[in-house]
Amino acid sequence: MRELIIRILINAAALFVAVKVVPQIDFKYGNDWWKLLLVAVIFALVNSYIKPIVKALSFPISMLTLGLVAFVINAVMLLLVALASDALKLGFTIGGFPPKLGADAIIGALLAAVVISVVSTLATLALSPRKLF
């Protein structure tokens, strides 16, 4: 349970950094920090349950592109989080999506996926116990 909470907090931090760095992401949470945590929970659920299925189905394409399709999968998962957050009226949008899906949303999702991956990896490495040999 502790690891799940830490993972959600790392996702929240990574999403916060992506909101600040990527200009296409708009998140109107104001002083309601719980909205950021709720979007991080949605993000964790999407990454836990839907992403493995999509990765398994896209394995042949992943082999052909030497894994570069993973960036596209991460971006699509992020757009799915934006769609779910719109349904819950949380105010998380990417390049105007939802309601409209355009080049701005796709580029923003790709950039955000890279930022979230980097921040999440660095935070996980910083918080994980060091293993020597």
Q: What is the Cα–Cα distance from 95 to 79, expressed in whole angstroms?
A: 10
> What's the number of domains the chain is made of?
1
28: three-class secondary structure by DSSP: coil
Gap between the Cα atoms of 120 and 115, Å rounded: 8
Run of H or E including 26: strand 25-27
- Tens of pLDDT, residue by residue over 42-59, are 998 998 899 999 999 999
Q: What's the pLDDT at 67?
A: 86
- pTM strictly above 0.75: yes
Q: Do the domain assignments include residue 130?
A: no
Confidence check: pLDDT of 124 > 90:
no
Query: Is the confidence at residue 132, as pLDDT, over 60?
Result: no
Residue 7 lies in a domain: yes
- Residue 40 belongs to some domain of the structure: yes
Q: Is residue 126 part of a domain?
A: no
pLDDT of residue 108 exceeding 60: yes
| pLDDT confidence of residue 133 | 56
SS3 93: strand
